[in-house]
């Protein structure tokens, strides 16, 4: 039995046509990632690696080589996930791609560390010396090894600063600068891969394959992280057209430019913006669209939480704006069900507001939940009220502080009474759920939805975090 993807009188298609296409693309990309790991192992085996396990020294050395190949391959996969390639963005979305990128950090580091330790141990056993002497001999006697040790040190620094506990102690800009060292750690490790050992010997197919991987990854980063944003910003010439006060510390910024319809942005997506004004030009801000994009202009609604974002209300009209994007799968293309539930906390209302403007549903088949400490803390509520009335959606504002020491997205009295998302929205399991807010709060909503029997494919979320 197959799902009918056509629109019916009871609601939109059960499965958006773009969903199946996206899933096929996601499957293809995952297969390519797994295949890349299989290929580097095959390179080792094709070079006679299977026969190099006859002595303890050979075992350690061979395992070290495999660990280095697989670890480096995972590093390249991580760089591709962070390069903002269009196929990756279409298949997984920026948030999920970066989540996988972060999850690969520790395994890649452990493999590279294992590569170093295993090789040093294997060489020490073969030469009958202790590992410290062997490490020094490798550092001073083998070509390009000092660069390899430098690359390992840089990689350790990047991974350590990416740990949540450590990352919270850095300002975003400082953390981002440190994180850029990941590129340098990969670059400085390349020479020793080509000069030490015979696996990637000059003229071999393995060497050309390995170099092609590096060139492809480097080219992707240069084009999609640097060149394309510059070209698109120059082409569309975005400028600040107006700034409207929404609430204390919250403003809506309208941007105009040239040929904006060519951006192909959709409701729910976000851009990474750079405002070329004093004190702001050196920071990039990921802000979601708060109204449906059009050829006439784009609008974002932002809250001044950081030092620089607090200066946004003082932006002058005509301020130039560069951008990267649009990014994100927090869109209609993720739909799988006839009903929709839109849930927001704080400034997370921005993409929810833009989605409500364009997402497809039959009257009565949409619910909007706004979560805040108090009714006065809700943003864009007047616009949402008007949209809900026009489109036939139900709007509920859930106000109150969360209880201390309890992992819940609801107010203390609701949590104590055993209220759940399923009780608030009885049709939950036949709905797509869009959630946007701070990370801990969003995670709590996702857990509640999963406890209510909602499949993962029907839950779409964006979290305010870095």
CA distance 458 to 422: 14
| 117 Cβ contact partners less than 8 Å away, ≥ 6 residues apart | 64
Choose one of 209, 231, 253: the last residue of a domain.
231
Task: Classify residue 363 as exposed, middle or buried by CB count within 10 Å of its CB (0-12, 13-18, 19+).
Answer: exposed
Clarify whether residues 206 and 81 are in a common domain. yes
What is the rounded CA–CA span in Å between residue 69 and residue 55?
21
Question: Quick check: 53 and 65 in contact, CB under 8 A?
Answer: no
Please indicate, yes or no, whether residues 263 and 380 belong to a single structural domain of this protein: no
**Residue 8 maps to a domain:** no
At 10 the pLDDT is: 37
Confidence at residue 363, expressed as pLDDT on a 0 to 100 scale: 94
Q: Which domain holds residue 101?
A: 18-231
Q: Which residues of the chain have pLDDT under 50?
A: 1-13, 165
Alpha helices in 82-104 (DSSP H): 86-103
- CATH code, 270: 2.40.30.10
Instruction: Report in angstroms the alpha-carbon separations of 229 from 19, 225, 323, 361.
Output: 27, 7, 6, 34
* Percent composition of the chain: helix, strand, coil (DSSP 3-state, to 5): 55, 15, 30
Domain boundary among 231, 257, 275: 231
Q: At what angle do helices 131-141 and 105-127 cross, to 10 degrees?
A: 100
Backbone φ and ψ for 304, nearest 5 degrees, come out as -75, 95
Residues 141 and 214 in one domain: yes
**290 and 396 fall within a common domain:** no
Question: pLDDT tens for residues 272-293?
Answer: 999 999 888 888 888 999 999 9
Residue 11 belongs to some domain of the structure:
no
Same domain, residue pair 287 and 410: no
**Domain presence at residue 452:** yes
Instruction: Indicate if 356 and 378 belong to the same structural domain.
Output: yes
Residues in the chain, overall count:
466
Token pair for 263 = 């951006």
Total domain count for the chain?
A: 3
Query: Using CA atoms, how far apart are residues 163 and 105, in angstroms rounded to an integer?
Result: 10
Residue 13 lies in a domain: no
Helix-helix angle 17-46:86-103, to 10 degrees: 60
- Predicted local distance difference test score (pLDDT) of residue 306: 60
Q: Between β-strands 285-288 and 339-345, what pairing exists: parallel, antiparallel or unpaired?
A: unpaired
Give how far the C-alpha of residue 122 lies from the chain's centroid of Cα atoms, to the nearest Å: 39
pTM, two decimals, is: 0.82
Residue 3 lies in a domain: no
3-state secondary structure of 91: helix
112 within a domain of the structure (yes/no)? yes
Tell which phi-psi region holds residue 344, choosing left (phi > 0), alpha (psi between -120 and 50) or beta. beta
Residue 2 within a domain: no
Together in a domain, 224 and 316: no
Q: What is the CATH number of the domain that holds 454?
A: 3.40.50.80
Query: Tell me: the pLDDT tens digits for 226-267?
Result: 999 999 999 999 999 999 998 888 999 999 999 999 999 999
Shared domain for 267 and 380, answered yes or no, is: no
Domain boundary among 204, 231, 258: 231
First to last CA, the chain: 42
If you compute the radius of gyration of the chain from its CA atoms, what whole number of angstroms results? 26
User: Which pLDDT score, from 0 to 100, does residue 93 have?
Assistant: 83
Hunting for tokens 């993962």 — which residue is that? Answer: 456
Looking at residue 56, its pLDDT comes to 93
10 within domain boundaries: no
Token readout for 352 is 């929810």
Q: Please tell me whether residues 449 and 410 are part of one structural domain.
A: yes
Task: Judge if 244 and 224 occupy the same domain.
Answer: no
Helix (H, G, I), strand (E, B) or coil at 9: coil
Q: Before 326, cis peptide (omega within 30)?
A: yes
Identify whether residues 363 and 420 lie together within a single domain: yes
Residues 43, 192 within the same domain: yes
């Amino acid at each position: 039995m197959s799902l009918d993807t056509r629109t019916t009188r009871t609601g939109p298609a059960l499965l958006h046509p773009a969903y199946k296409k996206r899933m096929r693309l996601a499957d293809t990309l995952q297969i390519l990632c797994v295949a890349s790991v299989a290929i580097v192992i095959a390179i080792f085996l094709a070079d006679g690696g299977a026969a190099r396990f006859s002595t303890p020294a050979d075992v350690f050395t061979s395992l070290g080589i495999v660990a280095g190949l697989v670890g480096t391959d995972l590093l390249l996969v991580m760089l591709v996930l962070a390069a903002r390639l269009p196929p990756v963005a279409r298949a997984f979305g920026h948030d999920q791609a970066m989540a996988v990128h972060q999850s690969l950090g520790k395994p890649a580091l452990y493999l590279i560390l294992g590569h170093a330790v295993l090789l040093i141990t294997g060489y020490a056993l073969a030469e009958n010396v202790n590992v410290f002497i062997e490490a020094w001999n490798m550092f001073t006697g083998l070509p390009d090894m000092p660069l390899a040790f430098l690359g390992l040190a840089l990689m350790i620094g990047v991974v350590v600063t990416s740990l949540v506990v450590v990352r919270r102690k850095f300002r975003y800009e400082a953390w981002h600068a440190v994180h850029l060292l990941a590129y340098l750690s990969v670059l400085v490790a390349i020479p020793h891969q080509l000069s030490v050992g015979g696996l990637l010997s000059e003229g071999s197919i393995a060497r050309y394959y390995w170099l092609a991987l590096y060139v492809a990854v480097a080219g992707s980063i240069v084009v999609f992280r640097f060149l394309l944003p510059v070209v698109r910003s120059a082409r569309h010439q975005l400028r600040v057209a107006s700034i409207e006060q929404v609430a204390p510390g919250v403003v809506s910024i309208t941007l105009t430019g040239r040929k904006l319809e060519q951006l192909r942005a959709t409701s729910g997506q976000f851009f990474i913006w750079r405002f070329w004004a004093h004190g702001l030009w050196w920071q990039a801000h990921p802000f979601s669209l708060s109204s449906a994009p059009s050829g006439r202009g784009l609008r974002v609604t932002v809250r001044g939480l950081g030092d620089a974002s607090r200066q946004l209300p003082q932006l002058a009209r005509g301020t130039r704006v560069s951008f990267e994007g649009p990014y994100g799968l927090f869109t209609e293309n993720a739909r799988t069900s006839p009903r929709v539930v839109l849930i927001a906390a704080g400034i997370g209302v921005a993409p929810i507001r833009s989605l409500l403007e364009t997402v497809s549903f039959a009257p009565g088949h949409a619910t909007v939940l706004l979560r805040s400490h108090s009714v006065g803390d809700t943003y864009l509520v007047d616009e949402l009220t008007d949209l809900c009335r026009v489109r036939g959606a139900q709007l509920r504002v859930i106000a109150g502080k969360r209880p201390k020491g309890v992992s819940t997205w609801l107010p203390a009295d609701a949590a104590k009474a055993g209220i759940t998302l399923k009780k608030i929205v009885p049709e939950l399991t036949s709905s797509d759920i869009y959630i946007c807010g701070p990370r801990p709060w969003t995670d709590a909503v996702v857990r509640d939805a999963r406890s209510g029997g909602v499949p993962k494919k029907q839950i779409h979320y964006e979290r305010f975090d870095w």
